[in-house]
Amino acid sequence: MENVGFIGLGRMGKSMASNLAKKGFSLVVHDIVEAPVKALVELGAKAAATPADVASQCSIVATMLPASKEVEETLFGPDGAMAHAKPGTLFLEMSTVDPATSDRLHDEAAKRQLMAVDAPVGRLAIHADRGECLFMVGATPANLERVMPLLRAMGTTIHHCGAGGTGMRMKLVNNYLAIILCQLNAEALSLSQRFGLDLVRTLEVLYGTTATNGQLRLNWPNKVLAGDTSPGFTVDLAHKDLSLIVQAANAARVPVPVAAAAREAFSMARSRGYGQIDFSGMVDVLCDIAQIERPRLPAGWTPPG
């Protein structure tokens, strides 16, 4: 079995690394925060002081970091992980970043006799807790086969999207729709609240027409509409992803006016202190601004059908 390094033990990364440790992988971990490192050590992992220390000990190095800046600092600098990796080391990059950063990952790996896979994560933190992540993978078939045991230990659904860089681009397309739907649902239910419509009846109507969507049917009844805005995917992260989407679309000369408008709505929410709530909580943001009662379902309610 290969020694696996894992850099980035945030809300998602800690759960993903924990699943690897629990399933018997030889694991070396690093994070700038001490507490999650200690938690992984208790599960049998070994702590490393720096990303370079991780790379020097491991043949596969996984990263799950906040943004492009952290990925570039961790991997590409003179003291970064790639500079200290042995030839043949594979870098499994799972963060949500600018496609240009994913492209650089593959380019730098090729220059250094290393290998690379971009495999950004779909679904939410609760799915990571249960080992039910979805991965969108950009890789050669051989590199995908090499990381497949790790992906299967952390997730249940793996989509090979094509060559290097396609996984990240697919993630932006997916998140575009997922985040936009949250904003649309928030506006629609705020309007429903202002109209004085019964929430249960509103949902029954929406679920029976083409207006329905996965966020409204699958996620919202368990999150904001149940009064739970603890973060599975925060407003801050949604804003970050919308910014990446707009930036990447501009670079590709594709107009995305809806994404730009939604980004400003999420920016407004962040400016008012809502950045760390779940992104489904955008409906609470709009209702609070408009001084409307927040929509909540009765206890025990489940979607019809």
Alpha-carbon separation of residue 66 from 11, 42, 112, 141, 243 (angstroms): 10, 24, 25, 27, 14
Annotated catalytic, 240?
no
Whole-angstrom distance, CA of residue 25 vs CA of residue 149? 10
The domain made up of 3-163 has a fold known as Rossmann fold (3.40.50)
Q: Which residue has the tokens 């309610």?
A: 301
Asked if 41 contacts 72 with a C-beta cutoff of 8 angstroms, the reply is no
Closest Cα to residue 154, out of 260, 33, 22, 276?
Answer: 22
Indicate which residue of 22, 38, 46, 171 is catalytic. Answer: 171
* DSSP string for 79-105: TSTGGGPPTT-EEEE-S---HHHHHHH
Alpha-carbon separation of residue 143 from 94, 137, 150, 204 (angstroms): 14, 10, 12, 46
User: What pLDDT was estimated at residue 232?
Assistant: 87
Q: Which residue has the tokens 């699958």?
A: 218
Q: Which residue has the tokens 């033990």?
A: 9
Alpha-carbon separation of residue 161 from 134, 155, 166, 247, 289 (angstroms): 12, 16, 6, 21, 41
* 121-122/133-138 β-pairing: antiparallel
The domain made up of 170-290 has a fold known as N-(1-d-carboxylethyl)-l-norvaline Dehydrogenase; domain 2 (1.10.1040)
Would 3-163 and 170-290 be classified into the same CATH topology? no
> Which residues of the chain have a pLDDT value below 50?
none
**What is the phi/psi pair of residue 154, to 5°?**
-105, -15
In the chain, where are the structural domains located?
3-163, 170-290
Alpha-carbon separation of residue 105 from 93, 192, 260 (angstroms): 8, 46, 27
| pLDDT tens digits, one per residue of 265-292 | 999 999 999 999 999 999 999 999 999 9
Asked if 280 contacts 224 with a C-beta cutoff of 8 angstroms, the reply is yes
